Amino acid sequence: MAVHRRRVLKGLAASGAAIATMRAPYVQAQAPFKLGLLTVKTGPLAQGGIQMEQGILTFLKEKNNTLAGRKIEFISADSGGNPAGARTKAQELIERDKVNVILGPLAAFELLAITNYVRDNATPLISLAAAEDVTQRAANPFVIRPSATSAQCCHVMGDYATKELKFRRAALISEDFAFGYEQMAGFQRVFEDNGGRVVKKLWPPLVTPDYTPYVAQIGKVDCVFNGFAGSNPVRFMRTYADLGLQGKIPLLAGWTAMDDALLRSLGDEAVGVISAAYYSADLDTPSNKRLVADMQRDYKVLPGGYSAGMYIAGQCVEAAIQKLDGKADDRKALAEALRQVSLTDTPRGPIQFDKYGNVIGDVFIRRCERKGKQLVNTVIKTYPKVSQFWTYNEADFLKNPVYARDYPPAKYLE
């Protein structure tokens, strides 16, 4: 292919626009729509945070940096992966950069640190973080969540484990923090309501150099459900296999533990693991085909839940701007419009939002397999239109306390 100067310039303009706009804002009839990304690019959570940025940049590049006719100015902020940093950076984005909408943050404790702040400053936020109550008992009209609550996929896993896999006794293991509690609680509730028993719950600290003391305690169960996140699943699964449990006791996982982007870090120890996730890289939707191809081309990685979540967040922004037709600068109207968004083609399939701003969308059960040199998560069952309340009555669900370490209480511990 001949390289045309104009084409190169056009390409450069598109890919470099994010940086270029920061240095020299375009002077246009209508000021650009400011999209702030609150993510993590340094420290232990950087892996997911960098994928978030890659996801939204892929979307903006695909759209030539223009959403529904509005030029987009993209601003990226690095919270460092802690609540105080998230609060500071959210303030920078809102008060200094005056962004129209914030995408992010990554972690539940970051979201909890800024949810009141974005409400007080009337700035819409599209969250990837999973903290349940932000779209439940403490619902925030400025927040929508197109990814999932902590337990949304775990309810599904609990159902699949009892109804399809016929497991009756389970051990649960996850990090000793809110995201872990909420995931395990969701699994436990559905698993026990379907007649199963959770006989062991293990909570290793977030920083655990060696999981052997925990894996050694698992004992006689039909399955182990793990909710590890970040780099921990890699180490946990190797220990699980090393101690001879792989193949003997089936391992189930939440979405972060078997994220598609994590597969290249894993080896044979991950083969056979069954996971529940709101996204799968091998889904056959037009936008997912584009996302996977573009990410492979630009970053040489397979997108996972972090990238797809931000790509979908971008789609929501586009749909909301379209709907508001020139009035997208009104932040309150934008927040309302975001809530009304209903999309038929996203990388995870069709989505819409409930009145609390949380997504209703498909959840996929995948089994990890080896295809040639690569690991892939093959979708084996799709649960359509899963709500954060699963099949429970919404009002009853909200009357209960939020999922926690000891709620619902585990009656069958041994």
Partner 1 sequence: MMQQITSAQAVILAINSFALGGLLFLLSAGFSLIFGLMRIPNLMHGAFFMLGAYFGVSLLDWGVNFWVTALLSGLAMAVIGGIIERFLLRRLEGQVLPQVLLTLGFAFIIADVCLMIWTGDPWQPSPPQNLRGAVQAMGMFFPLYRLVVLAVAVAVAIALWILVDWTRLGAMIRAGVDDPAIARVCGIKVSQLFTIVFCLGAALAAFAGVMGAPFLSVYPGLDFEMLPLALIVVILGGTGSLLGALVGSFILGFLYNFGQAMFPDLAYVILFLPMLLILVLRPQGLFGRVVP
Report the residue number, 211 or 353, with the smaller CB distance to partner 1: 211
CB burial of residue 28 (10 Å; 0-12, 13-18, 19+): exposed
Nearest distance from C-beta of residue 234 to partner 1, angstroms: 5
Nearest distance from C-beta of residue 81 to partner 1, angstroms: 9
What's the CA gap between 345 and 351, in Å, rounded? 8
Beta strand ranges found along 298-373 (DSSP E): 342-343, 351-353, 359-371
Report the residue number, 80 or 361, with the smaller CB distance to partner 1: 80
Nearest distance from C-beta of residue 72 to partner 1, angstroms: 25
Nearest distance from C-beta of residue 115 to partner 1, angstroms: 25
What's the CA gap between 165 and 193, in Å, rounded? 15
Please give the residue ranges that form the binding site for partner 1 (CB under 8 A).
42-44, 46-50, 176, 202-205, 207-210, 212-214, 216-217, 230-231, 234-235, 238-239, 242-244, 261-262, 264-267
| 249 and 223 Cβ atoms separated by less than 8 Å | yes
Report the residue number, 187 or 236, with the smaller CB distance to partner 1: 236
Nearest distance from C-beta of residue 302 to partner 1, angstroms: 11
| 377 and 263 Cβ atoms separated by less than 8 Å | yes
Report the residue number, 173 or 317, with the smaller CB distance to partner 1: 173
Nearest distance from C-beta of residue 361 to partner 1, angstroms: 27
Report the residue number, 40 or 190, with the smaller CB distance to partner 1: 40
In Å, what is the CA distance from 409 to each residue of 132, 164, 189, 225, 405? 18, 25, 9, 17, 8
Report the residue number, 168 or 238, with the smaller CB distance to partner 1: 238
Closest CA to 252 of 377, 190, 161: 161
Is the torsion defined by CA of 112, 307, 240, 222 positive or negative?
A: positive
In Å, what is the CA distance from 245 to each residue of 154, 219, 360, 361? 22, 10, 35, 34
